[in-house]
Amino acid sequence: MKNLIAVMMLGFLFAGQFSGQVFANDYQRKSISQVQVLVSNNGVSSKNASLSASLLDAQLTSKLNLPRFDINPIPDAALTSFNQAVSEWSELDSQQIQRAISQYLQPELSRILNDPLVQQRRMGRQNAQENKMDLASTKGQSSGMVLSDYEWLMNAAFVAVPYIKERSFSVLTEDVECVVDGGILWYQFQDDGQGNQMMVLVADTQSTMKGYSSFKLPKDKKKRRQYNIPSSVYRKAQDKALRIWITDLSVKVRQLPQFRLSGTVLSVQGRVYDMNLGVKDGVKMDDSFLLYEMVETSKGIYPKRKGYLQVLQVGQVEGETQSVSRLVQRLGQTRGAGGWLEEYARTGLDFQPVFLKKEGLSVPYQSLILTERNGGLLPILNSDVSRGYGVMGRLSYNLAPWVNVSQLFVYLRGQSLVLDASVSEGVSGIPYLRSAYGGLIKKWWWRGQNVYLGVGLGSDELRFKGSLGAKSIELKARSLGASILLGAERLLGPNLSLSAYAAWQANLAVTGGHYHIGDDRWDWSDIKETSTFSDLKLGGASIGFGLNYSISSFSGVVNAFSIVF
């Protein structure tokens, strides 16, 4: 039954996640040449939105310069002619770009690809993956390239044309939002060996990302009306949007069938697999791979997914010898050698929505008695509150590729709890708790499940927004806290896990807050010597159940998360 559920979830999750082609061969290195990013000023009206194309270009290049590529730069002279041609266009047109590439860049690219030194370098790095047994290798002449090598060399070259087709800015309440919409056009060099060459558009990797930057409006209404948002706020929002746009593109590039890493299963011991890719191909710890085998059906022979694996140990051999990485199978039944592994590139971000219950809160009703201007007392609650129910959203990011510690995550969680409270007569509204915590989590796996331990620091804020008759009431009380998490997850599919956790949290006394009654406001300096907000303890113990979702692309969930929090 559990296998059936797993298979169903696997199928459901893979639908639409994976773009089509699967290759049974080992990954063959691609030659990449990149032109400077083409920026359209479409949608930009503000003078504050200046963009340094060269700086953006440098950032893009460093992200796209993956170890799996052979970067072959195009000389500036050829790029100048190309850039001049495209700068005269009012709109970006992929067909026009294709013609410009054919006219200005193709001859130069052909010259680079035909250079014997470039060919030897590319063959050397590719041949490291091969087990040669033939006469050429017997005689130590494995660099004697044959027709199939030239076919590959001349048809595995790509030109990347990054572009931004639209940038827009919107002013929200106390935030500036910048939306960047663009992508990368990928053109492949195609040579039939008889002097016929062309550049063909093979992919358009698109991304739309948002960035936010906050500003503080003055309290005075008159000053608020005259307030001009500084240009630095716009620039910051744009920088954030561009940064995440570039990161999203680098993930999407790795998901393209042409650039996805593919390696052979060399041997299997239990659930541990050896694969013929390593650090020089860009494999990193905790990278995900899908296991395939060919299956013969009545309609032909097709690849079939057989499992999901994660990198346990990265093969460290550099240079021109074979590198072997070790992976552990998390989902699927164990298979023998002979299948192949396809990279399943994701962002490294996990999102965990959880429903939770918190106990051990201490919100005495006396601590929420507000003092009015006329000296009157306004109780918000009828009784003490000790529990709440709500939702939590946690974003965690795998640090393994950088720190070389497997399954170490940094997390940021936001939580919203409705207190199980009854408010005083005449008062309308619900008190709730909002939290923001950050910390580290370490997971330990066994097959398709794990347990994890985490620590974090953050703050909780008790809030209330309601009214008493015609008077509006709003309050906020903040305290700092530390938490320890203990949880468990069970993989349902490569992207999805069932999750359960428990957390213990200890908080300091309230360190800040304010409240409004109508147009009157009391700040922390007014409150701290009073009994309002005193004895509030916002810590406690929580248990929660939910899901853990590994994000394949930065759009969607992340944008929603950034809006909410």
Partner 1 sequence: MRIINVFRIGCVLLMLGSAVHAVVPIAKQAVLQEAASSSEVVVLATGIYHTQGTKAWTKKRDVRKNGLKNALLDAKRSALYVLLFSGTDPLLQTKDSELRFSAISEMFYSSSVMSDFIVFEGRSPKEKILMNNETSLKVLLELRINRERLRSYLEEQGVLEKRESLVEKMGRPMLMVLPQAKGEQSPLALLSQDENLGHAAGVIQSALTSRQYEVVLPDQIKMIQELSSGQYQLSDSGVDMSYQLAMSVGSDLYLDYQVTQSESDYDTQQFAVSIRAFETTTGRLLGAETGYSEMRKGADFLSIEEAVQNSLDQVLSRIMNYWKTDLVKGGQYKVLVRIPDNIFDRSELEQVQDSMLDVLSSMSNYTKESLITNATMDLIIWCDVDRYSTPRKVYRAIRDQFNLVNNRARLVLVNQNRKLVLMTLEAI
* Contact positions vs partner 1 (CB under 8 A): 24, 131, 133-136, 138-139, 141, 144-147, 150-151, 154, 191-194, 264-267, 293-296, 301, 304, 333-339
Nearest to 450 by CA among 507, 510, 498, 512: 498
| Eight-class DSSP state of 552 | S
Q: Give the residue with the Cβ less far from partner 1, 180 or 331.
A: 331
Q: How far is the CB of 328 from partner 1 (least distance, A)?
A: 17
Q: How far is the CB of 240 from partner 1 (least distance, A)?
A: 46
Q: How far is CA 546 from the centre of its chain?
A: 20
Q: Give the residue with the Cβ less far from partner 1, 17 or 334.
A: 334
Nearest to 260 by CA among 288, 285, 279, 286: 288
Q: Give the residue with the Cβ less far from partner 1, 332 or 431.
A: 332
- Whole-angstrom Cα Rg for the chain: 29
Amino acid at 74: I
Q: Give the residue with the Cβ less far from partner 1, 256 or 272.
A: 272
Phi-psi sector, 344: left (phi>0), alpha (psi -120 to 50), beta? beta
For 72, other C-beta atoms within 10 Å of its C-beta total 20
Q: How far is the CB of 150 from partner 1 (least distance, A)?
A: 4
Q: Give the residue with the Cβ less far from partner 1, 265 or 517.
A: 265
Separation CA 447–CA 408 (nearest Å): 17
Q: How far is the CB of 97 from partner 1 (least distance, A)?
A: 27
Q: How far is the CB of 267 from partner 1 (least distance, A)?
A: 7
Nearest to 187 by CA among 169, 206, 202: 202
Q: Give the residue with the Cβ less far from partner 1, 152 or 565.
A: 152
**286 three-class SS:** coil
Nearest to 479 by CA among 367, 395, 355: 367
Q: ∠ at Cα 71 (67, 74), nearest 5°? A: 165
Q: How far is the CB of 129 from partner 1 (least distance, A)?
A: 11
In sequence order, what DSSP letters do the residues of 463-487 get, joined into one string? EEEEEETTEEEEEEEEEEEEEEEEE
In contact, 315 and 268? CB cutoff 8 Å: no
114: its two tokens: 């035909």
Q: Give the residue with the Cβ less far from partner 1, 152 or 215.
A: 152
Q: Give the residue with the Cβ less far from partner 1, 8 or 418.
A: 8
Report how far apart, in Å, the C-alpha atoms of 176 and of each of 173, 181, 215, 229 are. 8, 16, 8, 9
Q: How far is the CB of 192 from partner 1 (least distance, A)?
A: 7
Amino acid at 319: G
**How many alpha carbons lie under 13 Å from residue 257 in its C-beta half-sphere?**
11
Q: How far is the CB of 268 from partner 1 (least distance, A)?
A: 9
Q: Give the residue with the Cβ less far from partner 1, 302 or 545.
A: 302
536: its two tokens: 């509030």
Q: How far is the CB of 124 from partner 1 (least distance, A)?
A: 16
